[in-house]
Chain A
Amino acid sequence: MNTMLIILRRELAGYFATPVAYVFIVIFLVLAATFAFYLGGFYERGQADLAPFFSFHPWLYLILVPALSMRLWAEERKSGSIELLMTLPVTLWQAVLGKFLAAWAFTALALALTFPMWLTVNYLGDPDNAAIFTAYLGSLLMAGGFLAIGACISATTKNQVIAFIMTVVVCFVFLLAGFPMVLDVFSGWAPQPLVDAIASLSFLTHFNALSRGVIDLRDVLFFALVIAAFLYANTIVLDMKKAN
């Protein structure tokens, strides 16, 4: 069997061997529903769509995904098992991909378990199911982006608390890159093309398009590139740690 898949399976089994999986899934489902119904006004809007549900995903992920990603490498470094993993006949990419894909598959499972929302909206009205599917895809891609960032940061430390906080901060910057809160830091001194480039990195802008049901290849490609870039950075961090 492919080495990467063996690592993926071990990681995934690891989530369910500890309370991590259950706590994460329950909290995710409860918060996702609570936000949609109370803050989003799911019923009050009187529209058969899931916009109030998806619009809170970026904020939900901002807190929950770093909690999931912080342990990816930091825990291995703390317990020393990274020495075991890295002396098995495994390449850096196999290890990085195996861990990332396991975490991503896990968030996909959590996301899939929100299907009662979809059932509800179909029961109540006649929604555009293609748009809902696109929004789910966008949500999953965004979670992947957060996870890749978190995995890379987790590899830099053996302290999970540091990994968590750093990941929240970096994800927050990426989330709001298109908004004044982040852009004002740069617009004073950086050249306009750089400011525009930073603005185009906004997770929120790319996600909003997808969550409205607009499937633009550029948005999909954006998240794919973010994931690839941070996983590549992840391998570099591991390689640097090896050389010290």
Chain B
Amino acid sequence: MIRTQALTKRYGPLVAVDDLSFEVAAGTVLGFLGPNGAGKSTTMKMLAGFISPTSGQAIVGGHDVVAAPLAVKRLIGYLPEGAPSYGEMTVRQFMRFIAEIRGLAGDAGRRRLDEVSERLGLTGVQHQSIETLSKGFRRRVGLAQAIVHDPAVLILDEPTDGLDPNQKHEVRSLIRDMASDKIIIISTHILEEVDALCSRAIIIGNGRLLADDEPRRLEARSRYHNAVSLRLAERSLQAAACEALRGLPQVASVEQAEDRVTALPKAGEHILPAVAELAREQGWPLSELHLESGRLDEVFRSITTQAAP
């Protein structure tokens, strides 16, 4: 379990992380969201023991990160921002170095290295020096060193940054496979990733905790939650459709974006049946009709811009 209490980091007058308190239980994939400079990386660095907090406390697996740093570091697998490594080493040498430091030696260690390399698709570049690899490979080397000792806590700072869509998919399924018994904290600004991966999301802005909830429930805060979007095969009908939708008593407002019309409901109303009924009555040539679950990017924007001073 991870618990932080009033965790604070100051750099001179700048408050990077401000009075941050949260708890994470095993089996959680926690997404750290926030604009650039919000304090996501700083928080992760403090949990991983790279920098020490100015005040407050962080407990990982029962150990205080300041009082018992080694015990904490043994529990954690950490991918720093940008996935740094020793460029002059080959992938295999580097992985063996990490495994040795993590106390994985002999046959068991070698098997584990093979397994992890296989899983991350590094088998083919084993004997290439890391600095000659592409960004995506380097990121995967960083992931491999973080998971080699099968840690109870995995802290990944932007794990999919710089990966192509296939690699992203691979990394996500890797994270999902490991999620059941671990604490996994990932920072990202790819919001679809939070939807796809996280069981919980924390939004940070200016070092403060702004929201802490399940992604689904965060989406429900969106104006677009339960909104209905439709697309008409004949665009000439669009203006009339807007007019008609505004006439529905449950509809709060109607927005047009290119060829798409979105009707937003009044609080607590379900407008899909009414909209569908209206469309049938009017004989609109619908090419698309769907219910929105909410837009995380819109929630993110409204939460983080409200908080800005």
Q: Which residues of A contact B (CB under 8 A)?
A: 1, 3, 6-7, 10, 13-14, 17-18, 79-81, 83-84, 86-91, 242-244
21 CB contacts below 8 A, A to B, read: A3-B101, A6-B101, A10-B89, A14-B89, A17-B88, A17-B89, A80-B84, A81-B84, A83-B80, A83-B84, A84-B80, A84-B84, A87-B50, A87-B73, A87-B78, A88-B73, A89-B70, A89-B101, A242-B50, A243-B51, A244-B51
How many Å lie between the Cα of A90 and that of B50 in the bound state?
Answer: 11
Report if A86-B11 is in contact (Cβ < 8 Å); known contacts: A6-B100, A10-B97: no
Check A86–B50 contact: CB distance below 8 A.
yes
A93 to chain B, nearest CB (A): 12
The chain A residue sitting closest to B73, CB to CB, is A89
Using A6-B97, A14-B86, A80-B80 as known contacts, say yes or no to A91 and B70 having CB atoms under 8 A apart. Answer: yes
Q: How many residues of B contact A (CB 8 A)?
A: 30
* In contact, A84 and B145 (Cβ under 8 angstroms): yes
Contact A10 B86 (CB under 8 A): yes
Instruction: State whether A242 touches B129 (Cβ < 8 A).
Output: no
**Interface flag for B45 (CB, 8 Å):** yes
With A and B bound together, what is the CA distance between A239 and B129 in angstroms? 31
State in angstroms the CA–CA spacing of A14 and B82 once bound together. 21
Number of A-B contacts (CB under 8 A): 65
Pairwise interchain contact B82-A80, C-beta atoms closer than 8 A: yes
Instruction: Decide: A83 and B100 in contact? CB cutoff 8 A.
Output: no
Question: With A and B bound together, what is the CA distance between A11 and B184 in angstroms?
Answer: 31
The answer to whether B87 touches A79 (Cβ under 8 A) is: yes
User: Which of chain A's residues has its CB closest to B11's CB?
Assistant: A244
Interface string of B60-86 (1 = CB under 8 A from A): 000000000010011010101110111
CB of A18 within 8 A of CB of B88, answer yes
In the bound complex, residues from chain A placing their C-beta under 8 Å from that of B45 are 83
Q: Which residue on chain B has the smallest CB distance to residue A20?
A: B88
Identify the closest chain A residue to B84 (Cβ): A80
Q: How many angstroms from the CA of A44 to the CA of B125 in the assembled complex?
A: 57
Q: A7-B101, A87-B48, A244-B51 are in contact. List 10 more A-B contacts (CB 8 A).
A: A10-B97, A17-B89, A81-B86, A83-B50, A83-B80, A83-B84, A87-B80, A88-B101, A89-B70, A242-B52
| B84 contacts A86, C-beta separation under 8 Å | no
Task: Give the residue name and chain of the A residue nearest to B99 (CB).
Answer: A6
* B205 interface contact, C-beta 8 A: no
Using CB atoms, name the residue of chain B closest to A239: B52
In this assembly, does B119 line the interface, its C-beta being within 8 Å of a C-beta of chain A?
A: no
Please indicate the chain A residues that have their CB under 8 angstroms from the CB of B145 in the complex.
84
**B49 interfacial contact with A, CB 8 Å:** yes
Interchain CB contact under 8 A, A1 and B80: no
Measured CA separation A14–B84 after assembly (Å): 16
Give every chain A residue within 8 A of B82 (Cβ-Cβ).
80
- Quick one: CB contact mask for B11-22 with A, threshold 8 Å, 1 for yes? 100000000000
- Interchain CB contact (< 8 A) of B49 among A13, A80, A87: A87
Known: A83-B45, A242-B50. A88 touches B86 (CB 8 A): no
Closest A residue to B10 by beta carbon equals: A244
Central interface residue in B45, B82, B84, by most chain A CB within 10 Å: B84
**B51 adjacent to A242 (CB under 8 Å):** yes
B93-110: CB near A (< 8 Å → 1, else 0) gives 100011011100100000
Return the chain B residue nearest A11 by Cβ.
B86
Max chain A Cβ within 10 angstroms of own Cβ: one of B82, B87, B101:
B101
Residue from B73, B76, B86, B105 with most neighbouring chain A CB atoms (10 Å): B86
A84 to B86, CA, bound (A): 9
B80 proximity list for chain A (CB < 8 A): 80, 83-84, 87
- The one of B88, B93, B102 in contact with A89, judged by C-beta atoms closer than 8 angstroms, is B102
